[in-house]
Amino acid sequence: MIRSILIHPDPRLKKICDPVGQITDDLRRLADDMLATMYDAPGIGLAAPQVGVTRRLIVLDCNKESDGARRPLAMINPEVVWTSDDVSTYEEGCLSLPNVFADVERPAEVKVRWTGIDGREEEEQFSGLWATCVQHEIDHLDGKLFIDYLRPLKRQMITRKMEKFKRAQASGLVQKA
C-alpha cells in the first residue's frame, strides 16, 4: 500500500524514534508499504517517521539503473558503528522536501549494523551513494533532516518554501508530493 509522505515542516519529522522491540507482521507490512511508497515516489530511501510512524525502521535501494536489479533493504534499529575519515559531498534531496536539493558533506564510508526483517543481525560497509543514503535515513530516525546541515539562513528559506508548498497543496493548487 502506498502511504502518504509527510512534508516539512511537520513536528513528527523532528521526533527521535523509538527502537523496535519485536518484529511483527504489522512491522513487516510497514516495511513493504514503505518500499512501495519509496519506489512510487520515486526515491532511494525512506524512514518510518516520513510516513508518520516513530519507529526505528528505514528502507533503501540505491540501484538506480533501469536495467539493474533492485536491492531493497529494510533495516530495523540501524546504527552506524564505524565511519571513515574521508568525506564526500553529494547533492541530497528528500521525499519530505520535494524539489529541494543541497550539497551535504558526510563520511565517505560507513559500517552499519541492523536487524533484518527476518530477525537476523546484519552488518555491512557502504560507500558512495549507499553510504550517503543510509546516513540520511538514519538521521531521520534521530529527528534530523538534511537541511539541518545547512546554514541557518538557507534552512529558513527552504522551510518558508515548504510552508508555501504545503499551503498551495492544501488549496489544491499543486498535486500531492
Beta-carbon contacts of residue 166 (< 8 Å; ≥ 6 apart): 7
- 65, 121, 137, 163: the catalytic one is 137
Specify whether the CB–CB gap between 71 and 93 falls below 8 A.
no
Hey, what's the cell of 35?
A: 518500499
DSSP β-bridge partners for residue 47: 58
Is 163 part of the annotated catalytic residue set? Answer: no
In a 10 Å sphere around its CB, with 0-12 CB exposed, 13-18 middle and 19+ buried, how is residue 73 labelled? buried
Q: Long-range contact list for 10-15, CB < 8 A, 24+ apart?
A: 10/96, 12/49, 12/52, 12/54, 13/49, 13/50, 13/96, 13/140, 13/143, 13/145, 14/143, 14/145, 15/49, 15/54, 15/143
Specify whether the CB–CB gap between 131 and 108 falls below 8 A.
yes
DSSP helix/strand/coil, 105? strand
The catalytic site residues sit at 137
